[in-house]
Amino acid sequence: MLEFHPVATAHPIIEIAPSILACNLAFLADEVRKVEAGGAAVIHVDVMDGHFVPNLTMGVPVLASLRKATRLPLDVHLMIERPEEFIGAFAQAGANRILVHQEATPHLDRALQLIREHGVEAGAVINPATPVAMLKEVLRDVDTVLVMSVNPGFGGQNFLAYSFEKIRELRDLRERHGYRYRIEVDGGVGTENIAALVAAGAGTFVAGTSIFQSADPAAAVRELLALARGALAQRAS
């Protein structure tokens, strides 16, 4: 498994995380190379079971194949029931980060511990209707908190504006308590809102449709990265 270290600062670097859910899976390796060329920092892999969310996507074999095609960290988002039963398989297949939904398991802390026991970064995810307070007891230990800014299941949805409030709340909690988690946002991310998301406190940006459905995915990544870095520099000044 490729070594990948958690961010060790309250102000994480900017990461563009293209979601392969929106790419042409018949040419997965080629699609990944395009976004690598544009400066993507991580590849986001959406795993859906048709139960927790109303869609079926990819599983362990696709992740194992993807691991052979890129050296970028793989950010595996489990949108599945009983995620504990699959953590080991995804870790073995090459995940660098595994993110589980607060809503998908009655034992979130146990699931996060299991992820760490496999030597993988552990992340917690909240759906749009779930308040940040539901993660209070695990924030000190997670590497990532992923805010869903659309209802999970399908790409191409419109960004839910109240997600900004959650991101600001997570930023304030991180700064107040000295936590080290990165804030990741997934859903409806594009050129029109990425600067505002950086200003709110997010550092990792999952984008699928806005990258892979563009004429030039590499250029789309570069544009998002430039806008985000510009906003980060402005926030720091």
Rg (CA), the chain: 16
Catalytic residues: 46, 186
Residue 233: CB atoms within 10 A of its CB come to 10
> Rounded distance, CA 6 to CA 55, Å?
30
Cβ atoms of 17 and 40 closer than 8 Å? yes
Residue 111, both tokens: 């699931």
Cβ atoms of 28 and 69 closer than 8 Å? yes
Per DSSP, the residues of 129-146 read: TS-GGGGTTTTTT-SEEE
> Rounded distance, CA 35 to CA 42, Å?
10
What is the helix (H) or strand (E) element at residue 232, kind and residue range?
helix 217-236
Report the candidate in 150, 206, 216, 220 with the shortest Cα–Cα distance to residue 21. 206
